[in-house]
Amino acid sequence: MSNKTAIVTGASSGIGLGIAKTLLAQGYSVVANARKLSTAKVLDQTDQCFLVDGDVGIRSTGESLTEIALQKTGRLDLVVNNAGIFVLGNFHDYTEEQYRSVMATNADGFFYVTQPAVRHMKTQGRGHVVTISTTLVTQPIAGLNAFGVHFSKGALNAATKSLAIEYATTGIRFNTISAGCIDTPMNPPESHEFLKSLHPIARLGTVDEIVTALLYLDAAEFVTGEILHVDGGAHAGKW
């Protein structure tokens, strides 16, 4: 059993909830965040699980996650940047509201959550940041237009590599899980047949498969700067 502490954003459903539950089961203390997590009734507030409501696109929310981790446990070992927004739309039709919304959660959220965490990890001498991205960044699909997603998540993939190099000598690692279409509430059942066709392995991925990738990355201390595709082979090319 672990005695580590993790922050997990977007923890009210889907991938984030699956990650939070698994880490708790493995003995991690978890600071779990989502906009309305306390009213979602999917996790219980305990002396091991600390629920934090709030939008990660607001600086004070991001900063509070590290503050709570240190107040409650005195340490911070893992940050999982899972909170994200996916807005489809042609570039020429994208509204400023859509753009600002996607960038606030996907990009600003990464910055606001990760920067204070890294500041503490530097003094601690070790830590790990894992970001959930999308395989569409590596392999765009004709007709599946989502400028804001490509723009924001592509930036996070780049940040993973640059920060892995910047902090390699400090004991802090940065990795990303590049997910395909996963069976979560974000993808309604009526969309599943279409989504299956977007992978060479023609099915949806599972939350457990993303969790397995996360656990591997967290244990693999010689791995940093990795963009780990869990996408049924979609990143490999056109098929």
Residue range(s) defining the domain that contains residue 49: 5-236
3-state secondary structure 54-105: CCCCCHHHHHHHHHHHHHHHCCCCEEEECCCCCCCECHHHCCHHHHHHHHHH
Provide the token pair at 213: 């990738």
Residue the block writes with tokens 């069976």: 183
Dump pLDDT digits (tens) for 60-88: 999 999 999 999 999 999 999 999 999 98
Distance between CA atoms of 77 and 119, rounded to whole angstroms? 12
Q: Which residues of the chain have pLDDT under 50?
A: none
Provide the token pair at 66: 């590290």
Domain count, the chain: 1
Provide the pLDDT for residue 34: 97
CATH code, domain carrying 56: 3.40.50.720
Cβ neighbours of residue 231 closer than 8 Å, sequence gap 6 or more:
135, 178, 179, 180, 199, 205
Provide the pLDDT for residue 60: 97
Provide the pLDDT for residue 140: 87
What does pTM read for this prediction?
Answer: 0.95
Residues in the chain: 239
Beta strands in the chain (DSSP E): 5-9, 29-34, 49-53, 78-81, 127-134, 172-179, 227-230
Residue type, 119: R
Dump pLDDT digits (tens) for 5-18: 999 999 999 999 99
Provide the pLDDT for residue 187: 86
Provide the pLDDT for residue 196: 86
